[in-house]
Amino acid sequence: MTSFLQQTFNGLVSGGFYALLALGLAVIFGMLRVVNFAHGAVYMLGAFGAVVLADSAGLGFWWALLLVPLALAVAGTLLERLLIRRLAALDPLYNFLLTFGIALVCQDLLRMKYGSHSQPYEDAPFTGSVDLGLFDFPRYQVFVLAVSVAVCLAVWLVLTRTRVGTIVRAATERPELTRAFGIDTGRWVTPVFGFGVGLAALAGVLAAPMRAVNSSMGGDLIITVFAVVVIGGLGSVFGSVLAGFVIGMLQALGNLYVPVLSQTSVFLLMAVVLLIRPAGLFGKEEHA
Amino acid sequence: MIFALLGKLRRYPAPLRWGLLAAGLLAALGLPWALYPPVAADILCWGLFAVAFDLLLGHAGLLSFGHAAFWGTSAYATGLIAIHSGLPFYVPVLGGAAAAALLAAPIGWLAVRRSGIYFAMVTLAFAQMVYFIANQWGDVTGGENGLQGIPRELPGIDLSDSFVFYYAMLPVVLLGLAAAWRIVRSPFGRVVAAVRENPDRVRALGYSADRYKLVVFVVSAFLSGLAGGLYAVNHGFASLQEVYWTTSGKVVVMTVLGGIGTLWGSLIGAAAVVRLEDWLSTAGFEETGLVTGGVFIVAVLVFRRGVWGTIAHVAGVRGGGERAEHEPHVQEPDGTPQRVPS
């Protein structure tokens, strides 16, 4: 029972990472119809950003948590302005391929600079653990889970309760109709892209104290996140987040009961979902 | 290569047609003289892989981002059959290709439910599943170490010399290319192209679009498997690299560089990428992803027709760069970007 709860908790924590990444992918896809392959690379850059800030400027975790997502969000908006926009009129496949190329370049640039071994990150806040009777919760992981849940909730509230959120949702679901109402959807494309990139960078900074920081940390993760959004429904923010947490738990509990299937379980679940609901659990049928 | 070339050349004047055909044949036969033979053999393998991939992307309009699963599964299956049976290498390679096709059937059956970008993500995810299986099933695949000591058997001929092996594998590659060319020119291939252009109309005509997509997916996987099996025999081992997602990306870059939908432009793309990587690794530069990624970015941004597509376009040949021809214009005359219905 203790190990079950322990694994459920671990699953929720890694689910938080999936949710943050899937959320970013979902808003970017919604607004731009771009599946950002470079999302995993941004996550990796976020973790490296924290390491670099600590090593070169002596800036600790909290500074990294603030500065790195901001810096990468700005880089993301530049990327959108300079490159991604140029392919917006074409088949979405071209932007998928472009971001794939960008991901490869980022990954290998970091490998050139730092090699393939992991970088140490010592600036973790909240060391130690809290004892809640059943087992010890590492305090930092409790913090990560709280942040990811809070961010997902905040984004959801913004999307559902504010005017900006209404515009973004409208532009996501009916771009032509939204424009016909005189709303300049183009204005929101770049900020939304930057925001999605910032979310991935935030996940990366959060990962730095608890995961191995190396050049390949994003590549494998992004493929699992793709499976997450296929399961949740790529067009659905809610579905992506929920699927993120569910799959985190599925993997962790799989690790406990059927270790062989732990890593493949997410893809098996994806197969089942495709069989029953090709558009994903919360997605709508659409051609893209 | 030869047959693919013949098909393209139907629209050229006869002397040019036969001239190019002869040049292609000479290039194929002379390659191990011009290059280090194992590299020449690699070009054949990747070339066939890229053509098989373009059969799916260029002609069916399906971007699979998980073709490493078929190339790699065949590499492992070929290796296992060759190690345990000791049969002439043609048999293990065929067995490997069959294994790839067998794997492609369920994956394709599920993946064709989605199209476009979803299709890419779904195939990518399934390929990653194959990667995890290859990684964990260490008793069979060798896990991290890969499958070592795959023999090159052919009774009566000593294949230990890579130069000889090149000519032993060339017929298999040519047969594979001929099959790809034949499929594109067949009534079946016409329906596949129609599915790409207008799936709803094809359905209205009474065809099952999904079934056509599935068949071309399996055929593409079979041909990719032929290529992957030959690659494993050429190198004497199969590693996790063969089933990793970067391998799927590499075959995409080859096809984009050669020209999507040009079928045989993929051969040029494959040759260019293999040569480039060989040159870089000889120079001690290990970060090949930096170069492949860079080529990718440039090709997608400014060189979407690819090498063969551009040549055909400049020469004004119809059918050159079939996909590129349908590509919408990036800019309207007044300079505003135009979104096209997908």
Ranges of chain B whose pLDDT falls below 50 = 319-342
* Share above pLDDT 70 across residues of chain B, in percent, rounded to a whole number: 88
B289/A89 Cβ within 8 A: no
B249 inside 8 A of chain A by CB: yes
Which H or E run includes B170?
Answer: helix B162-185
pTM over 0.90: no
What pLDDT does residue A273 have? 87
The closest CB to that of A267, out of B129, B289, B296, belongs to B129
Q: B58 contacts in A (CB within 8 Å)? A: none
CA distance A29 to chain B (A): 11
Q: What is the ipTM of this complex?
A: 0.86
The closest CB to that of A35, out of B121, B339, B342, belongs to B121
Q: A267 contacts in B (CB within 8 Å)? A: 125-126, 128-129, 132
CA distance A190 to chain B (A): 16
User: What distances in angstroms separate CA A190 from CA A72, A78, A173, one per listed residue?
Assistant: 13, 9, 17
Closest residue in chain A to residue B133, using alpha carbons only: A264
What pLDDT does residue B2 have? 53
A270/B122 Cβ within 8 A: yes
Ranges of chain A whose pLDDT falls below 50 = 287-288
- Indicate which of A267, A273, A276 best probes the interface with B, i.e. most B CBs within 10 Å of its own CB: A267
The closest CB to that of A101, out of B296, B304, B328, belongs to B296
B117/A92 Cβ within 8 A: yes
pLDDT in tens, B221-271: 999 999 999 999 999 999 999 999 989 999 999 999 998 888 888 999 999
The Cα B196–Cα A103 span in angstroms is 28
B60 inside 8 A of chain A by CB: no
Lookup result for tokens 């040019």: B16
- Number of Cβ pairs closer than 8 Å across A and B? 143
CA distance B337 to chain A (A): 6
What pLDDT does residue A32 have? 85
